[in-house]
Structure 1
Amino acid sequence: MNLENPKKFKALVNQAQQVANEVFRPISRKYDLAEHDYPKELDMLAAIMDGMNDGDINGGAGAARLSKKKSGDDNGVRNGANMSTVLGLTELCWGDTGLALSLPRQGLGNAAIAAVANDEQLKRFQNSWAAMAITEPGAGSDSANIRTTAQKDGDHYILNGEKIFVTCGERADAVVVWATLDKSLGKAAIKSFVVEKGTPGMDVTRLEHKLGIKASDTAAITFTDCRVPAENLLGNPEVDVKKGFGGVMETFDNTRPVVASMAVGLARAALERTKELLKEAVAQDYTTPINNVSHVEAELYRMEANWESARLLTLKAAWMADNGQPNSLEASVSKAKAGRTCNAITMKCVELCSSLGYSEKELLEKWARDSKILDIFEGTQQIQQLIIARRLLNKSSAELK
């Protein structure tokens, strides 16, 4: 098979590749060594990146709604904002994943807004840079265990709790906070709220020191009697026990293919650079059976095959979203495959390149460090496999834990 990217996105992909090559790569090591320094070079790119979503008013990385196209619609297939976001971020993360996560108005919180906000909220927050706050000290990948509370008080909600590992939590204009309206009702009562920067009661308590993606700030935020306007609750304020997470979980159907695309871009960078460094010793001609080539050459072929499968699964999940097809299973499949593949490829590339791979003379060691988070955030490898099993076996979260 020879599956090509939609031709209408050629200019977008070329533009993103140019940014990755001419802006991200030259400053990649600088901000890896200067953790928590804001990459000022990115400010000039903000306006350019606003157009990465094909004119969609939602904006932001992964900020594309599930298309409302119905089965039987004879308007043909669609390649829209989900596909453009995935293709664009693949190229940007070929340059630098931490810098891609630091782009103004491209926060993961924008995906939450796009997934569940009503039309008025979409318009009101369309120019905001939104981070997403889900993880808590006692609730990591198990989002149903969230303990941050939101209590109705007239025209406001009062938020109390703590969030950790909030990507761009200090820099963003707003934070999309997941909180429960009633702990006794379980996950059905969890809603998301847009809390704008400077709101009294919201405090950034620390910035984390991390293994990788150091250009991106990762914050811990506390909410102490933080009053948020009721109109900042995204989507429907009613609690529907039968629906469960409902629209809130649609966020992950958007963001998991996005994280998968980041992994695809980073893995491609490592694979391409490794082949360049080894080209004098390893000549790949693709004509000799894999059992009759050197160990290193065979490893390169296996990595290429795994990378291609991750790429195609990611494109499938994005395409389904653009065409109104429920993609919860495919979103988790793409994220699980791409995250694990990226981590395996970058580590193997460091190994194959020996001292060059392990030193700071090359970006390979940085890419290996950056890759690990792509297998963790937006749901760990283990959580993705659990979700996939539930979908395939038609089991609920209560039936299969």
Structure 2
Amino acid sequence: MNIEIPKKIKPIINNAHQVALSVFRPISRKYDRAEHQAPKELDMLASVLDGFNEGDPESSAGATKTGKGHIRDDGGVKNGSNMSTCLGAMELCYGDTGFLLAMPRQGLGNAAIAAVANDEQLKRFEGKWAAMAITEPGTGSDSAAIRTTARKDGDHYVLNGEKIFVTSGERADCVVVWASLDLSVGRAAIKSFVVEWGTPGMELVRLEKKLGIRASDTAAINFTDCRVPAENLLGNPDIDVKKGFGGVMETFDNTRPLVASMALGCARASLERIRELLADHVNLDYGQPVDNASAVEAELYRMEAEWEAAYWLTIRAAWMADNKRSNSLEASISKAKAGRVGNAITLRCVELAGSLGYTEDDLLEKWARDSKILDIFEGTQQIQQLIIARRLLGLSSSELK
């Protein structure tokens, strides 16, 4: 992996950074206080992104198919939409994490469609804003324990169940719903379906009031005899016990590095802000041993080192996805590291800022609240460590629980 950022991606990073500073930051507190109010300022920005993505269906939500592949025959490597989206998301979350999640047509469901949809589905759902519905009451972080069912009935599937914590669930055009074709088979029967709003039997139950990312709507949705066209099932409709949950889980191989990037962007905002606040009190000298530094200086060095480690793990996972390499292990490692580091850094920066860190006079306390979800969704810290252990030890989910 070349550790230099490709030239073609640098303009994306620069543009995203300018958006973070000039668009997101000035209205960040406004929508933090006005939860459930849609940020209209994002509509024009989303239209600009649509223009950038036009003609490149793989750049929808910045995800491409991962899996076993190979480096090009000429020995070169590819830096594609996974890499560019991760780096762009990092910059946007430097401004406001909630706004990135609230961006029209850039939902996590779009990443799911990009990961497993066939060519016809990619074309049919192009331009749609797709949320993703996985979590259910009582299932916790075990995605394989979902109880929502999908029964085949002619040219349709009939969905029944309840989904909670659906990011952009109300504002999106459609929702990618995870449901089981046969509960007795277990995780191998879980498939994902694109359900468009307006489909009879699909009902918005409530919008959640949250600790952070308040600019983003988080919905609970019920499905009662909801008839979904059979062609809206993503991927292979057959139940393959040998392949198991793998086909659906490919979605996470794309989205976990993306969430890791979001955590890194939010953490970097806190790190830079605390350095500004402490500029008159600490003298950062990277040439001296950390043991010779003051306690605060040493703390900053350690946080920066942890951030850097998480950054390169994330870039590695995205690079592997772009080069068609199986990155399930690396995706979980990056998410686990960045989620924990991001949360720890934002909270510690609040503490180092003293009384200012606890007030709404500064965005430090908001970034700390926003960062917590980035260690939870797309698989909690504990789930990531469990997945990593299974991959390293070569054990199945039934052998290591």
Give the TM-score normalised by structure 1.
Answer: 0.97
* Counterpart check, 1:195 vs 2:186: no
* Alpha-carbon offset, residue 6 of structure 1: 1.1
Aligned-partner Cα distance in 2 for 1:262–1:72: 29
Letter in 1 for 2:76: G
The question of whether the paired residues in 2 share the 8 Å contact of 1:206 and 1:219 is answered with: yes
* Counterpart check, 1:154 vs 2:154: yes
Aligned-partner Cα distance in 1 for 2:359–2:150: 48
**Which residue is 2:279 aligned to?**
279
> Residues 150, 278 of structure 1: CA spacing in aligned structure 2 closer, same or farther, 3 A cutoff?
same
**Which residue is 1:19 aligned to?**
19
Aligned-partner Cα distance in 2 for 1:73–1:145: 42
User: What is the correspondence of 1:213-232 to structure 2 with a 5 Å cutoff?
Assistant: 213-232=213-232
**Which residue is 2:207 aligned to?**
207
**Which residue is 1:173 aligned to?**
173
SS at match of 2:203: strand
The question of whether the paired residues in 1 share the 8 Å contact of 2:147 and 2:180 is answered with: yes
> Residues 147, 78 of structure 1: CA spacing in aligned structure 2 closer, same or farther, 3 A cutoff?
same
**Which residue is 1:303 aligned to?**
303
SS at match of 1:161: strand
The question of whether the paired residues in 2 share the 8 Å contact of 1:12 and 1:52 is answered with: no
Letter in 2 for 1:155: D
SS at match of 1:183: coil
* Alpha-carbon offset, residue 199 of structure 1: 0.6
* Alpha-carbon offset, residue 66 of structure 1: 2.0
**Which residue is 2:145 aligned to?**
145
* Alpha-carbon offset, residue 53 of structure 1: 5.8
Deviation track 1:44-95 (CA, whole Å, cap 9, x = no partner) reads: 0112223566953044434322277435633610000100110110000000
**Which residue is 1:8 aligned to?**
8
**Which residue is 1:268 aligned to?**
268
The question of whether the paired residues in 1 share the 8 Å contact of 2:17 and 2:92 is answered with: yes
> Residues 234, 370 of structure 1: CA spacing in aligned structure 2 closer, same or farther, 3 A cutoff?
same
The question of whether the paired residues in 1 share the 8 Å contact of 2:69 and 2:326 is answered with: no
Give the TM-score normalised by structure 2.
Answer: 0.97
* Alpha-carbon offset, residue 7 of structure 1: 1.1
Aligned-partner Cα distance in 2 for 1:393–1:250: 20
The question of whether the paired residues in 1 share the 8 Å contact of 2:151 and 2:181 is answered with: yes
Aligned-partner Cα distance in 2 for 1:392–1:371: 28
The question of whether the paired residues in 2 share the 8 Å contact of 1:59 and 1:105 is answered with: no
SS at match of 2:159: strand
SS at match of 2:191: strand
Structure 1 runs not aligned, ≥5 long: none
Between 59-68 and 151-160, report the one with greater CA deviation.
59-68
Aligned-partner Cα distance in 1 for 2:39–2:73: 45
Aligned-partner Cα distance in 1 for 2:188–2:67: 24
Q: In percent, how many aligned pairs have the same letter?
A: 75
The question of whether the paired residues in 2 share the 8 Å contact of 1:59 and 1:126 is answered with: no
Aligned CA-pair RMSD: 1.5
Aligned-partner Cα distance in 2 for 1:123–1:315: 29
Deviation track 1:165-220 (CA, whole Å, cap 9, x = no partner) reads: 00000000000000000001100000000000111100110000000000000000
Between 325-334 and 286-295, report the one with greater CA deviation.
286-295
SS at match of 2:185: helix
Letter in 2 for 1:261: S
* Counterpart check, 1:102 vs 2:102: yes
Letter in 2 for 1:170: E
Letter in 2 for 1:312: W
Aligned-partner Cα distance in 2 for 1:152–1:303: 52
Letter in 2 for 1:307: W
Aligned-partner Cα distance in 2 for 1:252–1:2: 24
**Which residue is 2:40 aligned to?**
40
Aligned-partner Cα distance in 2 for 1:107–1:59: 12
Aligned-partner Cα distance in 2 for 1:94–1:107: 18
The question of whether the paired residues in 2 share the 8 Å contact of 1:192 and 1:233 is answered with: yes
Deviation track 1:5-62 (CA, whole Å, cap 9, x = no partner) reads: 1111111111111111110000000000000000000000112223566953044434
Aligned-partner Cα distance in 1 for 2:43–2:353: 35
SS at match of 1:74: coil
> Residues 58, 128 of structure 1: CA spacing in aligned structure 2 closer, same or farther, 3 A cutoff?
farther
SS at match of 2:245: coil
* Alpha-carbon offset, residue 3 of structure 1: 3.3
SS at match of 2:195: strand
Aligned-partner Cα distance in 2 for 1:69–1:181: 30
The question of whether the paired residues in 2 share the 8 Å contact of 1:65 and 1:321 is answered with: yes
Deviation track 1:321-347 (CA, whole Å, cap 9, x = no partner) reads: 001110000000000000000000000
Aligned-partner Cα distance in 1 for 2:68–2:391: 22
Aligned-partner Cα distance in 1 for 2:67–2:388: 22
Aligned-partner Cα distance in 2 for 1:328–1:55: 28
Deviation track 1:281-308 (CA, whole Å, cap 9, x = no partner) reads: 0110211211111100000000000000
Letter in 2 for 1:205: V
* Counterpart check, 1:356 vs 2:356: yes
User: What is the correspondence of 1:73-152 to structure 2 with a 5 Å cutoff?
Assistant: 73-74=73-74, 76-152=76-152
SS at match of 1:206: strand
* Alpha-carbon offset, residue 146 of structure 1: 0.7
**Which residue is 1:378 aligned to?**
378
**Which residue is 2:392 aligned to?**
392
The question of whether the paired residues in 1 share the 8 Å contact of 2:13 and 2:88 is answered with: yes
Letter in 2 for 1:99: F
Count residues with an aligned counterpart: 401
**Which residue is 1:257 aligned to?**
257
Aligned-partner Cα distance in 2 for 1:56–1:346: 36
